[in-house]
Amino acid sequence: MGKPTGFLEYDRRGNPGETPLERIKHWNEFHPMLPEEERRKQGARCMECGVPFCQSGVQLAGMFTGCPLHNLVPEWNDLVYSGNMGHALSRLTKTNNFPEFTGRVCPALCEAACTCGLHGDPVTVKENELAVIEEGFASGAVKPRPPKVRTGKRVAVVGSGPAGLAAADQLNRRGHSVTVYEREDRAGGLLMYGIPNMKLEKEIVQRRVDLMTAEGVEFVTSCEVGKDIPAGELLEKYDAVLLCCGAKKPRSMDLGGAGGKATHFAVDYLTAATRALLDGKPVEESMDAAGKDVIVVGGGDTGNDCVGTAIRQGCRSVTQLEMMPKLPDSRTDNNPWPQWPRVCKTDYGQEEAIALFGADPRRYQMTLKKCNENKEGALTSVVAVSLEPRTEGNRTVMAEIPGSEEELPCQLLLIAAGFLGPEDTVPDAFDLARDGRSNVATRAGCYATSRPKVFAAGDMRRGQSLVVWAIAEGRGAAREVDEYLMGYTNLT
């Protein structure tokens, strides 16, 4: 513990951010780094607790708290304070393959469990992490390190999201020859196309892909396994196949076909917006929010990303419908530290909507009931209905309130109501068993599927989750694949 009184002497200070009305003028990240001296103070706030809940990654009251990667948070916070960024980098990357991703998009499970947060503000763990890795890239400390010895084993990784990239990185370090198959035209999975540029600039993703390529990982893009290449060909060509295809099957809404071309799933909308930005081309008209009233169904992170994207496209208005009641603004007595705080969070897109339109875009306890079209079949408005919690048997459901219908103008409808599991193409191609939630079935704590030498990790195994969990899954699967191939493993 470099400064025992640091948490008493220094207040929490996060990276500064552009004002909402300034940042909506562009698609870039908008949180520049703190200067080095201030970052060292933030590192000094870490108390190096005897029991560091920040790195625990445990489940409490049905929710996880602390880092599932078990990052050595107190160690590298102390090294940040002392200015030893090189050593901090070595400790950080021991457990996390991609701090440049988690340092930008992770909801910071570590900070929710920080002991400083019990009676004050938690340490800026996430931003300290980002500062360490970005200093590593800037100084040249992060550079290609291909393995010195190859094992002669070949592994196919299907999907290049965070789980697939983490597994490929680990297996390549071990000396296996790894080929990553990606159906999109660019590698990165949801990092590339599912997360908007203002949260994660795509140069950051490509920088890591280029680094892995220089280390010997082969990327095959625009190739969908099960369609462009048969599953049997992979099984013949490789010693092991690891599936990391995500859980991109969206939860739909029964609108009776109404809404037509003006209705899109959020993941398709965000993908189209990012692809247009990267290709330097206009987004197709049906997915362009310019001059339109936009309704987003879903109050989670994906819905918020749709709000921020629609605002940057120049929407006339945006409304976000959330089925559930608004969460409290601060912890309640039945949600004590170090549980994950179930509190209302106003994210960047909502902040921008408040600044631009003068009101929070979220409408709680409401859902979509039907769409209205004009004579030409174009969407003109939607009818939303209010909900109230009711007890049915042993569970609480959100039920419609009769007579509460409300018509809202809408020319672009975005469905961000969550996901139902992996798409069927790859699991069906390998004829894999599924669990009760349609995810690829594996034994608890294991990654081997029902088919020999085929493994699964990430969202397609555990369901929709966080980037940090995907990285943890990829690392865990890499250990199991390595042990399968070699009879033992020395991967951590």
Q: What percent of the chain has a predicted confidence (pLDDT) above 70?
A: 99
Where does the pLDDT of residue 254 fall: very low under 50, low under 70, confident under 90, or very high at 90 and above? Answer: confident
| Average pLDDT score over residue span 225-239 | 97
Residue 435's pLDDT band (cuts 50, 70, 90):
very high
- Is the separation of the CB atoms in 67 and 57 below 8 Å? yes
CATH class of this structure's domain 260-415:
alpha beta
pLDDT of amino acid 253: 80
Structure confidence at residue 1 (pLDDT):
66
What pLDDT shows up at residue 62?
Answer: 86
What is the tens place of the pLDDT at every residue in 193-203? Answer: 999 999 999 99
Q: What is the 3-state secondary structure (H, E, C) of 452-481?
A: CCEEECCHHHHCCCCHHHHHHHHHHHHHHH
Q: Where in the chain do CATH 1.10.1060.10 domains reside?
A: 6-139
pTM: 0.95
> How far is 200 from 185, CA to CA, in rounded Å?
18
Strand partners, 364: 322
Tens digit of each residue's pLDDT (9 = 90 or more) over 102-116: 999 999 999 999 999
CATH 3.65.10.10 is the classification of domain 154-248+420-486 = no
Listed in sequence order, the DSSP H helices in 400-450 are 425-429
The overall average pLDDT reported for the chain is: 95
Pairwise pLDDT comparison (261 vs 346), residue with the higher score: 346
**Band (299; pLDDT cuts 50, 70, 90):** confident
CA distance 367 to 375: 25
In sequence order, the 6+-apart residues with CB closer than 8 A to the CB of 5 are none
pLDDT at 355: 98
Written out in words, the top-level CATH class of the domain with range 6-139 is mainly alpha
Average pLDDT over residues 349-353: 98
Q: Delimit the CATH 3.50.50.60 region(s) of the chain.
A: 154-248+420-486, 260-415
